[in-house]
Structure 1
Amino acid sequence: MNAVAGAAGFSHRFEGLRSRLPGAKLPWLDALRGEAAESFGAQGFPTRRVEAWKYTDLNPLGHVSFDEPLTLLDGGVTLPPAIAPRVVFVDGRFREDLSDHPGARSLARHLPELEGRLGVLAQPAREPMAGLNTMLFEDGLLLEIGEGVDGGVMELLSYATACERPQAFHPRHLIRLAPGASLTLIETATGAARARYLHNPVYEIEVAEGARLTHGRLQQEAREAWHLSTVYARVAAGGVYDNFTLNAGGKLARNEIHTALTGARAQCHMNGAQLLVDGQHADTTTALDHAAPDCSSRQTYKTVLSGKSRGVFQGKILVRQAAQKTDGYQMNQALLLSPDAEIDSKPQLEIYADDVKCSHGATVGELDADQLFYLRARGIPESEAKAMLVEAFLQEAVESVAEETLRGALARAVDGWWRAEAAA
């Protein structure tokens, strides 16, 4: 089955649902959806012949018939404990009855106000999964933090229920911080243990002058789920976008992050960890555009792989000619706990400015046998000794998170992953 044929089911579904999707009567939105559908229909799912998807195969998606959950689920669901005041989406739809954050708003209810704002950053013609999202999104988070306001900590929880047939949902999240505003957004993506679904979110994030967004992402989807997310962030002068992504769930996951530093002295931190067990595939792909002078960026990604798992890291830093005094750093490191595990790493630098300081690196290795022997010789059980070494390996990435609530949530997730792996 080729890429276009595999995507035909989504294209046919779009034509059938087009008049029922939120905002269907808005000419500008209908045109946006139509252009995305035309592009996605022509391209289909990206194949491994596409350079950006060389290491991640979406062909299995083309063999699954997904339902679109257009009917809002009523009734209770069992959610994980809250990390902070939160906004909840169940099967891609906003659940006001489960949300307790005062700033929580449903995107679907405010679409008439979003002409000229929604779809500005996303590139559906360039990124096919963003095109699929644009075609079929039903809801999402609309979040605006006013000028100079400290928005505190918010949790964005996406929960998937178990249905008889596989389902697909494509939330569209629109987030804007006004000048001088700040916010910590902790996103958790998870689902019922036996749920089989595709979660395909797109984020359009605007960080205005002097604003700061700390964006923590805990991907802990059900083991039979596909998680394909695309983040677009634009950072103005003096603004900071601080992203940490933990990839630990799902059968196949890809987190794609596109960040543009468009004003002088803007900063971006994109750090993360991938924790993979037998049968999992996770892909982190970043694209960082230094478009203004005196900007800095830091990227540190760590991957731990056990069993027959596969990890991917692709990171590109583009430094435009105007971006003098750029300071960019990128490091990707992988720890293989099994001879059957595999990691693909592709760091890239594309520099057109003269006065810059940029570096990147990648390492792959196993647990140090001498260190493991040292710990075992002091009476530490093998599983605990391995846990200590894995924790030490991940420490650099997690310690980069300054916000206490987020750092604690990440530490618990890492500990829970290792305990589950040790017990398996």
Structure 2
Amino acid sequence: MNAVAQPSALQVRAQDFLARYEGLKDRLPGDAAVRTAAAAAFARTGLPGPREEAWRYTSLRPLAEIGFREPLGPLADCAALLAGLPAIEGPRLVFVDGRFRADLSAVPSHVTVRTGTPAFGTLARLDEKLVTLNTMLAEDGATIDVAEGIDAGTLLLISLGSGSHSHPVAFHPRHALHLSPGASMTLIEIAMGAGTYLHNPVTSITVDAAATLTHLRIQNESPDAFHLSTVYADVGARGTYDSFALTLGGRLARMEVHAHLHGEKAAAHLNAAQLLGGNQHADFTTVVAHDAPATASRQTVKNVLTGHARGVFQGKIEVARVAQKTDGYQMNQALLLSPDAEIDSKPQLEIYADDVKCSHGATVGDLDPDQLFYLRSRGVAQAEARSILVRAFLSEALDPIVHEEARAAMETAITAWWERQSV
């Protein structure tokens, strides 16, 4: 008699998420038909597994071993978490456990902001499993519109995991941002929290002709949290999507960015830094599709890894036949400060045009012993010498950040992270 195959941990967790949807579907806001399609797709495909090429280096098994429930309500006292936020002035939208908190927010008056109903739009993207999960279970999110020619200044989008629940919780905010022609904005996203939770946000961004979005992200989640974010950026002619993501927190984190350059002379900058210690695992995955002539993309990703940490970079540049004069560049560099740390780097170029300039590269190493010796010989203590060299390594990634308060916040967060590793 043949033994009955037992479901894997990923399959069990996928069934749990489907059961949650069945219990919530009658009161979830937004397009019910889109959710039904997402649930059907998720029932077929489940969570991504290690046999999938895009998830070859990142296993969701640690997440699958935890049973998540929906948050009880956005009523938690977040005073301690709010006190730890970076000192950045400006209007802000605050989400606690995935739900908008008007009492903690300061909604800008010069842009249109809607909350309460997830904005699925045309980006259901049911081919991406985590996006499918988000589409199925999203309860809230921000929809932001910037009118033509408006300089909207700075807007903070803050997500807090309250840690106020007796059980692990999962939340799946769905955000959308549209910049009309000639508009500009700096969006600063900050993710922090306490306790064990899954934060699975999806953000769709549309940058119209000659518009510019500067998108800065600080991911400093709880050490026991899971951060799995997906961003889609559509960029029109002469538009610019300029982003930088700093990963510091979370037990397991993955930031995935899909940039589509569909207008002539559109540009995307997808820079990042991952600073990991202990048993942390973080993955920065990007896909840049050049689908118009004279488009440009730049990616510089820095990794500093200590302890048993593992970093992943997967960067793919796709150049369509029509995208002549494309200029694409990506570089991944890693400092391994422990013999047990690990980096997996997978740069890719897929080029169908014949008049392009595309390149990629990767470097892995420890701190330069000659530079350490030079600093030590001039009286600099060992810990301070290492700190100086790590900061110098990260400076290239931080240099393009012109928003002074955001850069100061990132430098402060990096200093705090380094001090924790040095204890």
Q: Structure 2-normalised TM-score?
A: 0.94
Match of 2:89 among 84, 89, 95: 84
Aligned ranges for residues 55-204 of structure 1 at < 5 Å? 55-69=57-71, 71-73=73-75, 75=77, 77-78=79-80, 79=82, 80-81=84-85, 82-85=87-90, 86-102=92-108, 103=111, 105-109=113-117, 118-123=120-125, 125-162=126-163, 163-192=165-194, 195-204=195-204
Residue 304 of structure 1 aligns with an amino acid whose one-letter code is V
Once residues 402 and 295 of structure 1 are traced to their aligned partners in structure 2, the CA distance between those partners, rounded to angstroms, is: 23
Q: What is the aligned partner in structure 2 of residue 15 from structure 1? A: 22
Identity of aligned residues (%): 55
Q: 1:277 to 1:345 in 2, by over 3 A?
A: same
Query: 2:15 is aligned with what amino acid?
Result: A
Partners of 1:122 and 1:371 lie apart in 2 by: 50
Shift of 1:60: 2.3
Which amino acid counterpart does residue 416 of structure 1 have in structure 2?
A
Give the partner amino acid of 2:23.
G
SS of residue matched to 1:374: helix
**Aligned runs of 1:327-406 on 2, under 5 Å?**
327-406=327-406
Measure, in 2, the Cα distance between the counterparts of 1:119 and 1:45: 23
Q: Give the equivalent residue in structure 2 for 1:26.
A: none
- Gap regions ≥5 residues in structure 1: 24-28
Q: Could you give the per-residue CA deviations for residues 2-41 of structure 1, whole angstroms, max 9, x where no partner exists?
A: 5333311000110110001123xxxxx1111111111112
What's the offset of the Cα at 1:402? 2.5
Paired amino acid for 1:151: A
Per-residue CA deviation, residues 92-120 of structure 1 (Å, 9 max, x unaligned), is: 111111111324734325x6xx6xxx342
Change (3 A) 1:99 1:280: same
Preserved contact between residue 4 and residue 41 of structure 1 (Cα < 8 Å): no
Deviation string for 1:363-389 (max 9, x for gaps)?
100011111111111111111110000
Q: 1:252–1:4: structure 2 CA closer, same or farther, 3 Å change rule? A: same
Partner of 1:35: 37
1:414 deviation in Å? 1.5
Q: Which residue of structure 1 aligns with residue 10 of structure 2? A: 3
Alignment size in residue pairs: 409
Deviation of residue 75 (structure 1)? Answer: 4.9
Q: Secondary structure at the match of 1:223?
A: coil
Give 1:107's aligned amino acid.
T
The C-alpha deviation readout for 1:288-307, integer Å capped at 9, x for no partner, is 00000011110000000000
Output aligned runs, 1:214-233, within 5 Å.
Answer: 214-233=214-233
* RMSD (Å), alpha carbons: 1.4
Q: Deviations over 1:163-202 (max 9, x none)?
A: 210000000011010100000011000002xx10000000
TM-score by length of 1: 0.94
Give per-residue Cα distances to partners, 1:249-290, cap 9 Å, x unaligned: 000000000000010010100001000001100000000000
Q: Which moved more, 1:375-384 or 1:66-75?
A: 66-75
Structure 2 unaligned residues grouped into runs of 5+:
1-7
Answer whether contact 2:310 2:343 (CA < 8 A) is retained: yes
For 1:229, the aligned partner's letter is S
Aligned partners of 1:248 and 1:417 also within 8 Å: yes
Find the aligned partners of 1:323 and 1:408 in 2 and give their Cα distance.
Answer: 38
1:136-165 per-residue CA deviation (whole Å, 9 max, x = no partner) reads: 001111111111000101111101111210
State whether residues 45 and 59 of structure 1, in contact with CA within 8 Å, keep that contact through their aligned partners in structure 2: no
The CA deviation at 1:77 is 3.2
In structure 2, do the counterparts of structure 1 residues 392 and 122 end up closer, same or farther at CA, with 3 Å as the change threshold? farther
Conservation of the 8 A alpha-carbon contact between 2:236 and 2:262: yes
Question: Larger deviation: 68-77 or 143-152?
Answer: 68-77
